[in-house]
Amino acid sequence: MTNLIIVAAIVLVLAVVMTMAGRGGGNFYVLVLVLAGMPMRQAATTGQFILLATALSAFVVFQKHRVVVWHLAILFGPLTASAAFVGGYGSHWFSEHTLKIVFSGFLALAGILMLIPFPETGEIDGKPRFGHWRFRSGGRRYSVDLRLVVPVTVLSGFGSGMVGVSGGSFLVPLMVLACRVPMRMAVGTASTLIGATALMGFAGHTIQGDFHAAWAVPLAAVTVVGGALGGRFALKSRPKHLKLLFAVTTLIAAGMMLVNALRTA
C-alpha cells in the first residue's frame, strides 16, 4: 500500500506536467512503474489505462477553450489507434530489453526534434501540390503533406502501443514541425488523440493478459485530477515554454529508461 501511495503522488505530478506538454505522461508512467518493480509489459498496460483517464480529463479542458484542430484529429485518430492496437498486441514479439531500448530511442528522437527552432505558422501560399491536404481551422490555413504525415503517424502509433506510451511524444513534433500547427493547439489536439491511442494500445495488451487492476484503477483516478490541472496550466503558458518543457522531459525520460535497460540487460 505504501508503494502505491508513493507512486500515486509521483503520477499526479507527472500528469500535470506531461499534460501541459501534450504528451499525457505515458513514458514517465511506464518508467515509474518499471522502477517500482512492475514487469515491462504489465507496466505498459497500466500506463495505457491511466493515460486514457488523463486524456479524457484534459480533453474536456482543451475542447472548452477550442484549441483542438479537429481536421488533424480526425486524420490521425484512426491511424494511430489501429496502429497502437497492433503495437500493443505485438509487444510479445519482442523481449523486455528490446522494448526498453526502442522506447528510449523513440523518446530521444522526439525530444531532439522539438529543440529545432521552427516558425509557428499555418499560413500557406501558392497552388495546391500533389499529395497535400489543405484546410482552414481556427482562422489559419494549413497544408499537410500526406505522403510524409500518414506513414509517420502509423509508425508512431505502432511504437506507442508497443511500449505503452501515449503517442503525444511523437504527434506533437509531427504537428508542429510537419503541419505548422501552433504549439498550444498541437498540445490540445494531441491530448484528444492520446485517448484513442491509449484505448487501443490498452486493449491489445489486455488481450494478452497483462492488466493489473489493483494499481491501474486508483492511479487512473489520480490522473483525472492531474489531467484537468495540466490542461488549465497549458492554456496559460507561453508556447516556447511548452516546447522546452516537452523537449527536456522527453530527453530525461529517454535517458532514464536507457540506463534502466542497460542495468537490467
Instruction: Quickly state the pLDDT bin for 121 (edges 50, 70, 90).
Output: low
Residue 63 and residue 231 in contact, taking contact as beta carbons nearer than 8 Å = no
pLDDT for residue 231: 85
Cell of 4: 502505491
pLDDT per position as a tens digit, 36-45: 888 877 887 8
* DSSP-assigned beta bridge partners for residue 144: 133
pLDDT per position as a tens digit, 3-14: 888 888 888 888
For residue 88, which amino acid is it?
G
DSSP element (H, E) containing 132: strand 132-137
User: Which of 75-89, 136-150, 164-178, 218-232 is most confident?
Assistant: 218-232
Q: 40 Cβ partners below 8 Å, 6+ apart?
A: 30, 34, 96, 99, 100
Tracing cell 499537410 back to the chain, one arrives at 144
pTM across the whole model = 0.71
pLDDT per position as a tens digit, 179-220: 878 888 888 888 777 777 777 777 777 787 777 788 888 888
pLDDT per position as a tens digit, 138-175: 677 777 888 888 888 888 778 777 766 656 677 788 78
pLDDT for residue 24: 66
pLDDT for residue 167: 64
**Average pLDDT rounded to a whole number, residues 220-246:** 85
Helix (H, G, I), strand (E, B) or coil at 182: coil
Q: 236 Cβ partners below 8 Å, 6+ apart?
A: none
Number of domains into which the chain is organized = 1
pLDDT for residue 194: 76
For residue 107, what are the domain limits? 2-263
Ranges 10-14, 27-31, 50-54: which has the least confidence:
27-31
**Average pLDDT rounded to a whole number, residues 79-108:** 78
Radius of gyration for the chain, computed over Cα atoms and rounded to the nearest angstrom: 17
pLDDT at 124 > cutoff 60: no
